[in-house]
Chains A and B, each alone.
Chain A
Amino acid sequence: MEIKTTTEDGVAIITPSGRVDTSTAKAFEDGVMGTIDSNNKIAICFSGIDYISSAGLRVVLMAGKKLTALNGRFALINMPEKIFAVFKMSGFDKILKIYPSFEESKSFFK
């Protein structure tokens, strides 16, 4: 798994690519949690993700909980339909902020 992180308007945008499953969840966790240590405005971009397992959902959830505790902001962007279905199925769409694009998440991060 490859994880790229860029910063735009003070928001760290984390872009992983490939599959997030049991074997890659740890790398995903390290990448996301490491970024939270230096920035409390985080967006995860899902455009390059073609599969996410429950182990991956757990990482997203951990990030959300940590950022809430830090009074930060956390959003998920550019989610392919198939990945969104997984978030919807597990009910995570009800507690996480999901935006079609970074542009549309900007007002949330302000």
Chain B
Amino acid sequence: MATSAKILVLDDEEDTKDLFQQKFRHQINNKIYEFSFANHSEDALNLLKQQSFDIFVSDINVAGMDGINFIAQLRREYPLMKSIVISAYGDMNTLRAVMRGGAHDFVIKPIDFKDFGDTLEKTINVVKKLQQSEVVSKKLSAISDELDVSAKLQRSMLPGNVIKKGSIELWADTVPAAEVGGDFYDFFWLSETRLGLVMADVSGKNISAAMFALIGKTLIKSFSKVYSSPADCFRNVNRTLCSENVTTMFITAVYGIVDIEKNEMIYTNAGHLPIVVINPDQDPKFLECDAGMALGIFEETEFIDNVHNFSPGEIILLYTDGVPEAANKNGEEYGNERFMELLKQSAKVSPNSLTQALTASIREFAGDAPQSDDITTLCLKYRLRINTNVN
């Protein structure tokens, strides 16, 4: 089945037009081929400026003063059009030069129209494939631009990386596996002395997960202003997500409120990995708590507030499963043992250094294996406070 093609023929012989129209009358009548004819190379250039062609057919001796350069020029200016040259028998040197210069194929005079028809059909197929790949490539490029914008938007929604205020030093960062990710963190002051911390992971990656993450992040921050208890906040975030969730996506999350007056953190967990506490004098440990179900699944899920009392110099780490579940080429996981060992060694460093050491350690372990999940961490150091009542 032939595809419809527009063909420009350059020849100065008067009967060429009649000959083509006669030999290809079937294709012309069925609108499979549409021919245009030019007598001079200037005519051909003018026609090319007015409309687009798929195929250019030319007698090599007619294509202006320098047929080889003319074909090469067309190839540069019209990369989606292919040229077929017609050459006299025995003119091998010119033919080689014109093929090198960019002609797609050639036929020898006197034209065997069966052979020419086959050549034309083959060349048209090449042009059509080229045009299709051009369309796909443009679409891909548009999608890629969209992803870039989404990634920028997602980055801009994060609160930054760092807080240093009074007894608190905080560092947070995310390394998405795809262009845009399903992980997010957040931190915000609820009052002069109360700092909200959020770490969350949406099921899935890319645009759909990123959109759901944005909804989740906005809801948590909004409800955090209404409800002073993290559990109450999550209860309402969960109900809202459930009532509008047609995608069966869900969010695992932890939300803690650090109170620097009371030296404590009230926190709740929705199906997320437990917070880790790192003490200079003890082994790091998980803050085990009764976790509620992930957000967005079951409307009546209950959440519980838990309390953690800070010791001076203590570090807490919130993270997503991209940390313990990072895999190397053999499919082995980074795992909790390596994770805990690294944290033990990093008990006395700053949150920024700890996060960097952890990311470097995961990268070293994973080696050449592609990053399969977002790696997101939020680290808070509760710095040593001098108790003025001691003396």
| Chain A contacts to B: CB under 8 angstroms | 19, 21-23, 25, 50-51, 53-55, 57-58, 61-62, 65, 89-92, 94-95
Contact = CB atoms under 8 A, between A and B. Distances in A.
Interface of B: 177, 182, 201-205, 248-250, 252, 270-273, 291-294, 297-298, 301, 321, 325, 327, 331, 333, 372-373
Contact of B291 (A53, A54, A57, A91): A91
Contact of B250 (A25, A51, A61): A61
Nearest to B248: A62
Contacts of B250: 54, 57-58, 61, 90
A23 B327 CA distance: 14
Given A22-B205, A54-B204, A92 B293 contact: yes
A55 B202 CA distance: 9
B372 A21 contact: yes
Nearest to B333: A51
7 contacts: A21-B372, A51-B333, A53-B325, A58-B248, A58-B250, A62-B248, A90-B293
A95 B298 contact: yes
Contact of A57 (B203, B270, B273, B372): B203
Contacts of B297: 61, 91-92, 95
Given A22-B373, A89-B271, A55 B293 contact: no
A36 to B, nearest CB: 14
Contacts of B182: 54
- B interface, over-half SS: loop
B291 A89 contact: yes
A91 B294 contact: yes
B275 to A, nearest CB: 13
Identify the interface centre among A23, A25, A50, A92: most chain B CB within 10 Å of its CB: A92
B301 A55 contact: no
Nearest to B178: A22
A95 B325 contact: no
Contact of B321 (A25, A50, A54, A95): A54
A25 B249 CA distance: 13
A19 B108 CA distance: 60
B373 A53 contact: yes
B273 A89 contact: yes
Contacts of B248: 58, 61-62, 65
Nearest to B322: A53
Given A54-B203, A95-B293, A90 B252 contact: yes
A79 B53 CA distance: 63
Identify the interface centre among A19, A51, A91: most chain B CB within 10 Å of its CB: A91
Contacts of B327: 51
A41 B368 CA distance: 42
Contact of A58 (B177, B204, B273): B204
Nearest to B270: A91
B331 A19 contact: yes
Contacts of B331: 19, 50
Nearest to A88: B291
Given A22-B373, A89-B271, A95-B297, 11 more contacts: A19-B331, A25-B204, A51-B325, A54-B182, A57-B203, A58-B248, A58-B249, A90-B293, A90-B294, A91-B294, A91-B301
A23 B249 CA distance: 16
A55 B203 contact: yes
A58 B298 contact: no
Which A-B residue pairs are the 10 nearest by beta carbons?
A91-B293, A90-B271, A54-B203, A58-B203, A91-B271, A62-B248, A90-B294, A55-B204, A22-B205, A61-B248
